[in-house]
Amino acid sequence: MFDAVIFDADGVLLDSEVIYHAIERAVLAEIGLDYSPIEYRQQFMGLHQTTYVAALEADSRSRLGRPLPADFLTRLRAETRIACDARLTPVEGAHEAVSAVRLPRAVASSSETEALERKLTRTGLAPLFGRHIYSADLVAAGKPHPDIYLHAAAALEVAPRRCLAIEDSLNGVRSALAAGMTVWGFVGGGHLDASAAAGLSEGGATRVVHSWAEAKDLLAAIG
């Protein structure tokens, strides 16, 4: 059925999105940009940093008539790094589920290279992927564009149509689908609620798994 499995990182392997969303929404609210959890998730989750900041900049100019504060990104980076260093954990069961995959596997993430490698190393997940850890810093356009998934498939030497991608965001689902991959939605991270599964299915995920405990046997069976 598949020749490789490619995982998103934040919110799939790493329970980081719950940390990011709380900090990001609080900082944005302080400058006058308020988003509900669902609105924020649908618009911004999964975007590469450059695309994320550009989208927020457009919202700020449209809604508030002014650009983002000059120190916005610097502040976010500092606050999220401190919080992740203190509280970041893998999503429960991620180690066991990834280890059950007998096919070639990779990470395809919107996180910046340094942050991605630091988080995966800190949580003990990095050795499960070896050199196949890829940040959208490596490609021309981040998610929802297909570039990072195409890059990962090429590095694994597997045709994109033979790859399974696992994603927690609509932008990530769109990215993998645009690359020609089959996508499973994952809603086991602490940042998602009951409405997330339907949204990922509607976005094109062929299956939605609710935890790594549920996914482990499914992943072991596809090898």
Q: Give the pLDDT of residue 223.
A: 65
User: Could you state, in order of their start, the residue ranges of all structural domains in the chain?
Assistant: 4-15+89-221, 17-87
**92: phi > 0 → left, psi -120 to 50 → alpha, else beta; which?**
beta
pTM of the model: 0.88
In CATH terms, 17-87 corresponds, of 3.40.50, 3.80.10, 1.10.10, 1.10.150, to 1.10.150
CATH topology of domain 4-15+89-221: Rossmann fold (3.40.50)
> For the chain, which ranges sit under pLDDT 50?
none
Q: Which of 8, 15, 137, 147 is catalytic?
A: 8
Please confirm, yes or no, whether 10 is among the known catalytic residues: yes
Cis peptide before 144 (omega within 30 of 0): yes
- Positive or negative: CA dihedral 27, 29, 31, 34: positive
Q: Which of 3, 10, 193, 217 is catalytic?
A: 10
Please confirm, yes or no, whether 137 is among the known catalytic residues: no
Q: Give the pLDDT of residue 132.
A: 98
> Does residue 211 contact residue 90 with C-beta atoms inside 8 Å?
no
Alpha carbons 204 and 181: distance in angstroms, whole number: 11
Q: Give the pLDDT of residue 48.
A: 83
Sheet with 182-186: strands ordered across: 133-135, 105-109, 4-7, 163-167, 182-186, 207-209
